Structure 1
Amino acid sequence: MKFDLLSTDINSKARAGEITTDHGKIETPIFMPVGTIATVKGVHQKELKEEINPDIILGNTYHLYLKPKTEILRKAGGIHKFMNWDRNILTDSGGYQVYSLSANRKIKEEGVKFKSHIDGSYHFFTPENVMEIQRTIGADIIMAFDECTPYPCDYRYAKKSMHMTHRWLDRCIKHFEKTPPLYGYEQSLFPIVQGSTYKDLRRQSAEYIANAGAVGNAIGGLSVGEPAEEMYAMTEVVTEILPEDKPRYLMGVGTPINILENIALGVDMFDCVMPTRNGRNGMLFTAHGTINIKNKKWEDDFSAIDDMAITWVDTEYSKAYLRHLFTVNEMLGRQIATIHNLGFYLWLVREARKHILAGDFRVWKDMMVKQMDKRL
């Protein structure tokens, strides 16, 4: 993997860059649609490629390990062939999912024993077998196995967990280096900064991760319920330390405003279920604010969903029609809202890139944040 830093905004730390892998180029900053189980919910691959057009999408090791199971992915020739996706894929290691199973898992130095949410069977993840699982899945970028701490988190626990994450990283790197890729293209391993919302722990973790010398680095544990101000403060601490010549990935974040503010702090890559999950529940993100399409006010509004026309659905359907689809629980409504939201998120990061390259990102960002912070 190669990363070229093309430009940095003069009034912020926002960066425009380009990641190159064996599956093509990724222009940064980038938002990665979440395809947890080898599909972005509600979107055909044709629509994903032609309308939303992301350079990279995200899958999840925990979910893919349970279904369809790694032996199926191996027989298919890896996740790209399995889901017919010829662009980049990143897999999260499953650390966040293990965190979310707090009532059904046990963490110890060797790894994590957890209970499947599907059938109640027990499984054990270690840094070593998570590397093997991700080799078998075959994503271009894979994540080190870490522990994602909750918010709020006791300082002593956060510190203990951070050090264990660092030890797990050493084991991940060692095992990654002795297990070759399976499908004829290279894979890259990103370590993850932890440390909860404690600045000294975040600094310590960022220094450890920076010293690991990986081709890219991630920031974890900042989408678990902490206030946005805490998120921004921790991101700023970490981006001051992580190397400038490596891409920086903030995991699980977030709202359109969160994304713009973190771009301004020097983050390059994002993922979040928000555009798809909120879309399925009738919330539309736009450049002028958010729309709850289920609201009665849209019942007889026959204007386009979004006159910016970022994707074809925006002008093909009216707000009144989309509201009708939600009120009668028609699947098409959820699909339309999902396509719109994903299209908007990709438009947003690409506009941010344009303004970074043009040198006026800060002014544009402040204007967009003010506009988007409205309920329509």
Structure 2
Amino acid sequence: MNGPIEFSVTAVEGGARSGRIVTPHGAIETPAFMPVGTRAAVKAMAPDELWSMGYRMVLANAYHLAIRPGAELIHEMGGVARFMGFPGAVLTDSGGFQAMSLAKINSINEAGIRFRSHLDGAPLMLTPESAIDIQQQLGADIMMALDECTPFPAEHSRALKSLEMTARWAERSLAARKSTTQALFGIIQGSIFEDLRKISAAQITSIAFDGYAAGGLSVGEPKAAMLEMAALSASMMPSDKPRYLMGVGTPSDLLAAIAMGFDMFDCVLPTRNARNGMAFTSTGPVTIKQAAHARDSTPLDSACECRPCRTHSRAYLRHLYLSGEILAARALTEHNLHFFARLMRESRDAIASGNFKAYAMVTAAAWREAEPAVSGDL
């Protein structure tokens, strides 16, 4: 490889595109969804199970791993992928999201983000430089520049100040990188203000990152505003680099974002909602605790070939969930992640065959009503 990663586009249909990202830990076919393994573990799933579903890259969080067990320990253990026993690639978030999600225990200034550990109150200063150092020690295939994830709602002046600091931090993040084998992505901010998104996109894409991300979305803003700002961000990202939409989302959001030209996604929805008894299916969401499933001998999704759908009835899954059995979280999480993996695989196939627009229209139809909201990072 000429750089830390290689990216190629293999097919295009309208704005949608399929491609390939080659990393030191293998190749990822795009569009790709990354399961969230905040603390180097995707909740309720073993790494080999993720691999067997087709996942080739997972996400971990630099802030949480720096707090426990510590970046130095993970470095000693051979890096985060080896530490968790995952044979594929890992992308690490810088900790910028925690500037918003853990706002009560941090303060932000030009130097960086000063945290009090959510575990024991111990101080942690996360700067653009230290965030890169931590991620280099973690051995991530793709690192993220430290940014300030602008909260919603934010006044125009506040969002402008935030994105300008994010741009300065981006320059410092790139200057701090020493590794030649780890990619680094920059993050576009700007809240839901069109002019600010354009300013931030121009600033971040002028910096020679290996890929670019749209951040600060799906943080409480109206759905229409999220989609509008995502599309604007995508339109201003280089076509020869991976485009990453952070923290999104529902099946219809993902399909809409693929149509915009995004390549990479992550979200806690499939795992968190599973633990709360909600399953993603080809006919829409299923809330397993509902009494309607008490004597239902059918699988969660008759169109699904995952292990829970082959072996468990809705009645049994409802029983497990209401009984507080760990198997309920395991089975629903496995099903949901299988659903998201299939959504990406079918999207790639549809783009390659020139049928993505039709595929997305049919697939999203079941998800136009009552889509579940998501927030947070665990």
Task: Please report how far the alpha carbon of residue 312 of structure 1 lies from its aligned counterpart in structure 2 after TM superposition.
Answer: 1.4
Provide the residue aligned with 1:159 in structure 2.
160
The reply to whether residue 4 of structure 1 matches residue 3 of structure 2 is: no
Task: Please report how far the alpha carbon of residue 375 of structure 1 lies from its aligned counterpart in structure 2 after TM superposition.
Answer: 6.9
Task: Please report how far the alpha carbon of residue 364 of structure 1 lies from its aligned counterpart in structure 2 after TM superposition.
Answer: 1.2
- 1:210-359 correspondence to structure 2 within 5 Å: 210-359=205-354
Specify the code of the residue in structure 2 equivalent to 1:49. Answer: W
For the 8 Å contact 1:159–1:195, the answer to whether it is kept is yes
Specify the code of the residue in structure 1 equivalent to 2:342. Answer: W
Provide the residue aligned with 1:106 in structure 2.
107
TM-score normalised per structure 1: 0.95
Task: Please report how far the alpha carbon of residue 116 of structure 1 lies from its aligned counterpart in structure 2 after TM superposition.
Answer: 1.1
For the 8 Å contact 1:288–1:371, the answer to whether it is kept is yes
Provide the residue aligned with 1:46 in structure 2.
48
Percent identity, aligned pairs only?
44
Higher alpha-carbon deviation: 268-277 or 95-104: 95-104
Provide the residue aligned with 1:31 in structure 2.
33
Task: Please report how far the alpha carbon of residue 358 of structure 1 lies from its aligned counterpart in structure 2 after TM superposition.
Answer: 0.7
- Secondary structure in 1 matching 2:114: strand
For the 8 Å contact 1:310–1:347, the answer to whether it is kept is no
Counterparts of 2:260 and 2:74, CA distance in 1: 37
Provide the residue aligned with 1:21 in structure 2.
23
Provide the residue aligned with 2:355 in structure 1.
360
Counterparts of 2:338 and 2:45, CA distance in 1: 11
Task: Please report how far the alpha carbon of residue 152 of structure 1 lies from its aligned counterpart in structure 2 after TM superposition.
Answer: 1.0
Task: Please report how far the alpha carbon of residue 372 of structure 1 lies from its aligned counterpart in structure 2 after TM superposition.
Answer: 2.9
Task: Please report how far the alpha carbon of residue 238 of structure 1 lies from its aligned counterpart in structure 2 after TM superposition.
Answer: 1.3
Specify the code of the residue in structure 2 equivalent to 1:85. Answer: F
For the 8 Å contact 1:285–1:344, the answer to whether it is kept is yes
Task: Please report how far the alpha carbon of residue 214 of structure 1 lies from its aligned counterpart in structure 2 after TM superposition.
Answer: 1.5
Counterparts of 1:131 and 1:286, CA distance in 2: 39
For the 8 Å contact 1:42–1:335, the answer to whether it is kept is yes
For residues 144-192 of structure 1, the C-alpha deviation after alignment (integer angstroms, 9 at most, x for no partner) is: 000001111100000001000000001001111xx236xxxx1000000
Provide the residue aligned with 1:172 in structure 2.
173
Task: Please report how far the alpha carbon of residue 53 of structure 1 lies from its aligned counterpart in structure 2 after TM superposition.
Answer: 2.1
Counterparts of 1:240 and 1:53, CA distance in 2: 29
Counterparts of 2:47 and 2:108, CA distance in 1: 37
For residues 12-69 of structure 1, the C-alpha deviation after alignment (integer angstroms, 9 at most, x for no partner) is: x11111111111111000000011111111011222222x220110000011111111
The reply to whether residue 187 of structure 1 matches residue 182 of structure 2 is: yes
For the 8 Å contact 1:217–1:249, the answer to whether it is kept is yes
Say if 1:318 and 1:375 are closer, same or farther in 2 by CA, change over 3 A: farther
Counterparts of 1:168 and 1:39, CA distance in 2: 28
Counterparts of 2:305 and 2:207, CA distance in 1: 40
Counterparts of 2:108 and 2:305, CA distance in 1: 45
Specify the code of the residue in structure 2 equivalent to 1:180. Answer: S
Counterparts of 1:80 and 1:54, CA distance in 2: 13
Counterparts of 2:299 and 2:250, CA distance in 1: 23
Counterparts of 2:130 and 2:366, CA distance in 1: 46
Counterparts of 1:96 and 1:46, CA distance in 2: 28
Task: Please report how far the alpha carbon of residue 374 of structure 1 lies from its aligned counterpart in structure 2 after TM superposition.
Answer: 5.0
- Secondary structure in 2 matching 1:89: strand
Provide the residue aligned with 1:92 in structure 2.
93
- Secondary structure in 2 matching 1:95: coil
Higher alpha-carbon deviation: 41-50 or 285-294: 41-50
Aligned length, in residue pairs: 367
Provide the residue aligned with 2:374 in structure 1.
none
Counterparts of 1:219 and 1:374, CA distance in 2: 25
Task: Please report how far the alpha carbon of residue 230 of structure 1 lies from its aligned counterpart in structure 2 after TM superposition.
Answer: 0.6
For the 8 Å contact 1:290–1:374, the answer to whether it is kept is no
Task: Please report how far the alpha carbon of residue 305 of structure 1 lies from its aligned counterpart in structure 2 after TM superposition.
Answer: 2.1
Counterparts of 1:81 and 1:120, CA distance in 2: 29
